[in-house]
Structure 1
Amino acid sequence: MRILVVKPSSLGDVIHTFPAVDLIRRSLPEAPRITWVVNDKLAAITALCPGIDRVVKFPRHQLASARALRNFVKDLQAEPYDLAIDFQGLLRSGIISRLSKAPRRAGFKHAREGAWLFYTEKYSVPADIRHAVAKNLSLVRQVLPSDAPERRPPLAIPSAQRAEASALLTKLHGTGPILAVGFSSRWPSKNWPLAFFAAVLDECARRQPGLRCWLLGAPNEQADGEKLRAMTIICQPTNLAGSTAVLTLAALLEQSQALLTNDSGPMHIAAALGLPCVALFGATDPTLTGPYGEEGLHQIIHSQCPNSPCFQRVCPTSPGECCKGWDPAAVADTIITKLQRHT
């Protein structure tokens, strides 16, 4: 069976689809041939998902180019499909499903922007299923009925990136457990203050002698990583923000013992690896997009702001509101527990 997976973006959303793709493979008696449509900037991340046979890159930032769109459609239609599953549920993903020429095109019944108009099969998700991962799994079980159990599929991290990550980690200060820190995200409202992170890291370093710590982030977050590093007094984090490609980032997380993070894409990579996350949530709802995993693995630190979750890209009150009421020492307690339990 030839299946097209339509999930162009974003980083976290792509990661949320890995268990569903794994379930597709385990739901069919013979291994299907799976093609994934993904934004060109995120194509590398699909390499972590085992069993993807082909990737079609969607030119998200070149939509004004007729040539880029023609090439995309040509690539999309280079192979026939028996089934297209749209996990995105937006107008563009619905159109992509239709352009695939797959005779069966499945998606969510309540997909946004009229995407459902392009489906031949529309499925509802039970009201008690809220997390994005669980919704994707529910869709697959309805499209391809199966008794295969849910599981966290292993990520396919190349050996070269594992070696690169190991080399980077040997340069960290200390000899103890490794704590990764995701201090930033694409939404300013999701970012808890750098001063709060610094206070938590110093408290962790005080309680855990030899703690090794590294900062992760995109190239445009490198400067804030330097600010955070300069704010710490006891902890000596190494700023790797902007220094690694996504596959090396995954390898670094794989070799760490815990992650302190805002709601971000790397948080979902960590969760997919089974790395314990201590996740700071304010602007968004962890029941919808929190770190997914077995009960007790992750710990959510909920903002006490009355507007939380506001779902606004920019804080509607004042920056730093999310962390008010939280003692950095209490967050450090949780992190130390995760480090000691998973060392």
Structure 2
Amino acid sequence: MQKILVVNPFGIGDVLFTTPVLRSLKQKYPQSFIAYLCNSRSALVLKNNPFVDQIFFYSRGDFKIIKKKSNFKYLVQVFKAIIVLKKMKFDFVIDLSLVTQYSFIFWLIGIKKRYGFNYRNRGFFLTDKIDLSGFTDKHVVEYYRQLMFKAGIDKFRKHLDFFLNTEDLAWQQEFLQKNQINNNGLIVGIAPFGGISWGQNAENKQWPLERFAGVINRVIDKYNARVIIFGVKADLKAAKDLQNMIKTGKIISAVGCTDLRQLGALIKCLNLLISNDSGPMHIACALDIKIAAVYGPVDEKVYGPIGNPDNYAVITKDLACRPCYKNFRTKDCRTKKCLMQISEDNVFDAIERLL
């Protein structure tokens, strides 16, 4: 039996982009044991995934939090993680971390085959690697397909996976009933926040709230839709401001009251999600929900929705300075022209085409 480790320590969308890798590995090695190493915030993305047998919550971000509290506890946790991974005796690893630290540890614990990307010459400890200057000319999932081919795997389906269980769907029905939302009517979701992985620069990915409000008012007027707002606890104040801009009581807030599983369950019941470039948007993509996605500094050809093109519309502005997010860095932009020049009409026209 092959024992395989897959590593991606990044955000929700990044982990979702790896789900075709998991599917292709399991198809190639149906009797294999596949473990996944990710950060604790993204782990729920993989819950119920039949192509993952075990999940480890180790990432540099998680360890940094521990280190801030105690250097001793940090060293203990790192040592424990190394011991646990060594005992697993993996045959090979798909290392998507793009940094040296992970592949060094995998070399140290004796994983013989170590596949990954040689980004900025950080792939010294990888045995099989693809040189990478950045994700630039094609979708991230296509880069992963290329790496899978290098690992001897030629069957690869370009579709994201997010698996819901009966508990998730039961919570969904309870939420809908509590808020008197009828499954037979049109249900539209909005994810006007997002960008947590960008930290203090998250607002650089966010279309103005007042324009979201303007679009939602028009959607309610034309389609008599019920609307659900998505976000995390840190978005509660902004969500309240948004609700005050909506002229009807047809809007329900799920901000700060869902985990990733419950978020996915609510997204599953939508007819459409209107979103910034965000984790909820990629979950909707995995669940085959129609999406109107507003993209600013990030290149939608690299990080955008994938799958059936009839299911999504990406709204952008063609500017000389866009996209400015390149090689995992974004410019310090004060004007946000790429977002500010997207009008309510641009987004509403896309919504009408989808509905």
Pair 1:324–1:133, CA change in 2 (3 A): same
Deviations 1:119-172 (A, max 9, x none): 0111358x99611112112211220233x3525365321211111112212344
Contact 1:259 1:270 in 2 (8 A): yes
Distance between the aligned counterparts of 1:95 and 1:213, measured in 2? Answer: 48
* Structure 2 unmatched ranges of 5 or more: 68-73, 197-201
Tell me whether 1:184 sits opposite 2:193 in the alignment.
yes
Amino acid at match of 1:137: R
What residue is the counterpart of 1:213 in the other structure? 227
Pair 1:334–1:171, CA change in 2 (3 A): farther
Pair 1:236–1:164, CA change in 2 (3 A): same
What residue is the counterpart of 1:238 in the other structure? 252
Pair 1:221–1:92, CA change in 2 (3 A): farther
What residue is the counterpart of 2:199 in the other structure? none
Amino acid at match of 1:76: L
Contact 2:17 2:160 in 1 (8 A): no
What residue is the counterpart of 1:14 in the other structure? 15
Tell me whether 1:260 sits opposite 2:274 in the alignment.
yes
Q: 1:132 aligns with which of 128, 140, 157?
A: 140
Deviations 1:203-254 (A, max 9, x none): 1111102x01111111111221111111112473211111101111111111
Pair 1:315–1:282, CA change in 2 (3 A): farther
Pair 1:183–1:153, CA change in 2 (3 A): closer
What residue is the counterpart of 2:71 in the other structure? none
Amino acid at match of 1:105: R
TM-score, normalised to structure 2, is 0.86
Q: 1:195 aligns with which of 210, 231, 236?
A: 210
Distance between the aligned counterparts of 1:43 and 1:24, measured in 2? Answer: 19
Tell me whether 1:328 sits opposite 2:335 in the alignment.
no
Aligned-pair CA distance for 1:70: 1.3
What residue is the counterpart of 1:52 in the other structure? 52
Distance between the aligned counterparts of 1:31 and 1:303, measured in 2? Answer: 47
Contact 2:189 2:273 in 1 (8 A): yes
Distance between the aligned counterparts of 1:55 and 1:143, measured in 2? Answer: 22
Distance between the aligned counterparts of 1:283 and 1:156, measured in 2? Answer: 30
Contact 2:187 2:272 in 1 (8 A): yes
**Tell me, what secondary structure is at the counterpart of 1:170?**
helix
Aligned-pair CA distance for 1:49: 2.8
Distance between the aligned counterparts of 2:170 and 2:115, measured in 1? Answer: 40
Contact 1:24 1:144 in 2 (8 A): no
What residue is the counterpart of 2:335 in the other structure? 318
Distance between the aligned counterparts of 2:109 and 2:227, measured in 1? Answer: 46
**Tell me, what secondary structure is at the counterpart of 2:90?**
coil
* Structure 1 unmatched ranges of 5 or more: none
Q: 1:170 aligns with which of 159, 165, 177?
A: 177
Distance between the aligned counterparts of 1:73 and 1:7, measured in 2? Answer: 16
Distance between the aligned counterparts of 1:40 and 1:19, measured in 2? Answer: 20
Pair 1:306–1:239, CA change in 2 (3 A): farther
Distance between the aligned counterparts of 1:81 and 1:289, measured in 2? Answer: 30
Distance between the aligned counterparts of 1:178 and 1:216, measured in 2? Answer: 13
Tell me whether 1:143 sits opposite 2:151 in the alignment.
yes
Distance between the aligned counterparts of 1:50 and 1:100, measured in 2? Answer: 27
Superposed, 1:5-154 pairs within 5 Å as 5-28=6-29, 30-59=30-59, 60-63=61-64, 64=67, 65-108=74-117, 110-112=118-120, 114-123=121-130, 130-146=138-154, 148-152=155-159, 154=161
Aligned-pair CA distance for 1:38: 0.8
Distance between the aligned counterparts of 1:197 and 1:235, measured in 2? Answer: 16
**Tell me, what secondary structure is at the counterpart of 1:337?**
helix
TM-score, normalised to structure 1, is 0.89
Distance between the aligned counterparts of 2:252 and 2:109, measured in 1? Answer: 46
Amino acid at match of 2:124: L
Q: 1:249 aligns with which of 253, 263, 269?
A: 263
Pair 1:139–1:149, CA change in 2 (3 A): closer
Distance between the aligned counterparts of 1:140 and 1:2, measured in 2? Answer: 16
The worse-fitting range, judged by mean Cα deviation, of 45-54 and 259-268 is 45-54
Distance between the aligned counterparts of 1:37 and 1:99, measured in 2? Answer: 17
Distance between the aligned counterparts of 1:253 and 1:100, measured in 2? Answer: 41
User: What count of residue pairs does the alignment treat as equivalent?
Assistant: 333
Distance between the aligned counterparts of 2:300 and 2:248, measured in 1? Answer: 31
What residue is the counterpart of 2:70 in the other structure? none
